[in-house]
Amino acid sequence: MTENPVPRWADRLAHVVPLLVLPSGLWRLGLVAGSSMGMLDDSGRPARVESVWQGAYIVCLSLFSEAVALTAFGMVKRWGEVVPGWIPWLGGRRVAPYAAIVPATLGALSLIAIWTYGFRDVFSGNFIPFSSDAAAALMISCYAPLQLWGPALLVLTWAYWRRRTGRTHQPLSGRSPASGSAGGV
């Protein structure tokens, strides 16, 4: 149970975030499993994972990406407000709102920058070579949801900020609906 109620839409969005990351991870795991996923190397042959270390890197990247995506739950769950008791020295302590808001905002903005840059050549002739348009479409459709990861986290962070700092919508006139005064005069 959180300090203040989490909007239903925010809880649902937090559950969507890991699903945005999952298709790209599964696509990468196809490479590790031995498929070229339609990608071609520089000589025009099907691309392959070159070594056990490269495969391990790809698996770790996929797992790490999914783990980072799961941190979006911190914006809607109790452990985003109070450090879980099993964490030594910090367990049970209240999380200062900005200790979550600042890293989440920076992370969201970083994700927006990373995936905007990562998709810069998707619809140009400078994209990764593929054996067919269908293979390219599969890769693009698996990676396209990553474009929504940063904005989704930014929206969740905004909802967390409102919930944890008590900020609510104020009328443009500057008066509180309960005050009854006109513009604070």
Report residue 51 as tokens. Answer: 């070594």
Amino acid 39: pLDDT: 95
- CA gap 23, 146 in Å, rounded: 9
Residue 111, domain member (yes or no): yes
Residue 184, domain member (yes or no): no
Rounded to two decimals, the pTM is 0.84
Residue 171, domain member (yes or no): no
**DSSP alpha helix (H) spans, 38-93:** 52-70
Q: Is the pLDDT of residue 94 over 90?
A: yes
**Across residues 100-113, what is the average pLDDT?**
97
| Nearest of 43, 23, 27, 25 to residue 35 by alpha carbon | 27
Lowest mean pLDDT among 96-110, 130-144, 162-176: 162-176
Q: Is the pLDDT of residue 185 over 80?
A: no
Amino acid 167: pLDDT: 73
Assess contact for 17 and 65: CB atoms under 8 A.
Answer: no
Percent of the chain with pLDDT over 90: 81
Residue 15, domain member (yes or no): yes
Task: Residue 139: give the domain boundaries.
Answer: 8-165
174 vs 38, residue with greater confidence:
38
Residue 25, domain member (yes or no): yes
Amino acid 174: pLDDT: 52
- CA gap 147, 21 in Å, rounded: 10
Residue 185, domain member (yes or no): no
Q: Is the pLDDT of residue 163 over 80?
A: yes
* β-bridge mates for residue 82, sequence order: 94
Question: In total, how many domains does the chain have?
Answer: 1
- CA gap 129, 131 in Å, rounded: 7
Question: Quick one: DSSP state of residue 144?
Answer: T
**In this structure, is the dihedral angle defined by the CA atoms of residues 54, 59, 62 and 64, taken in order, positive or negative?**
negative
Q: Is the pLDDT of residue 83 over 80?
A: yes
Residue 72, domain member (yes or no): yes
Q: Residue 112's pLDDT band (boundaries 50, 70, 90)?
A: very high
- CA gap 31, 75 in Å, rounded: 33
Amino acid 181: pLDDT: 45
Residue 114, domain member (yes or no): yes
Three-class DSSP category at 40: strand
